[in-house]
Amino acid sequence: MNDMSVSRKVLVADDEKDTCLYLKRYLERKKMKVAVVFDGQEAKKLIEEDNFDYVLLDCSMPNITGLELIEKARQRNPGARIVLISGFPAVDSRIVQKIGGDLFIHKPIQLEEIDAIFNPPAV
């Protein structure tokens, strides 16, 4: 059974609407329930109200950054997989993991990277 066929709840928070809609369409085709927001304050509200299996956060959203939301998302749902997304080369996976995130993806996003989030390789 393909692991991606199991319905999961995903929050995608990015101020680039094209990125959000691209991810939403792709993940919904994989039968996931996807909530999309375009700024950090909206993301914070949804994180407080709901439990997500996956939280994809842009590092540099208006109002509250993805970096600032990692701790809130981790407290609300310790089992969630938290992924930071950025187009800035100064952010890397070591920084993300140090502050509580699980993965980091550079923009432009590649679908193979998205698939790897939901189907991590066996260890």
Q: Which amino acid is at 101?
A: G
Residue 3 CB: number of other CB atoms within 10 A? 10
Instruction: Please give the pLDDT value at position 104.
Output: 87
Instruction: Please give the pLDDT value at position 2.
Output: 47
Site of tokens 């993300």: 96
Please choose, from the candidates 115, 13, 98, the residue with its C-alpha nearest in 3D space to the C-alpha of residue 60. 13
**Do 38 and 15 touch, CB atoms closer than 8 A?**
yes
Going residue by residue through the chain, which has 123 residues, state the pLDDT in tens, using 9 for 90 and above. Answer: 444 445 799 999 999 999 999 999 999 999 999 999 999 999 999 999 999 999 999 988 989 999 899 999 999 999 999 999 988 766 666 666 677 788 889 889 999 999 999 886 655
CATH of 3-118 among 3.30.70.1450, 3.40.50.2300, 1.10.1040.10, 3.90.1150.10? 3.40.50.2300
CA distance 50 to 76: 9
Domain ranges of the chain: 3-118
Q: For the CA atoms of the chain, what is the radius of gyration? A: 13
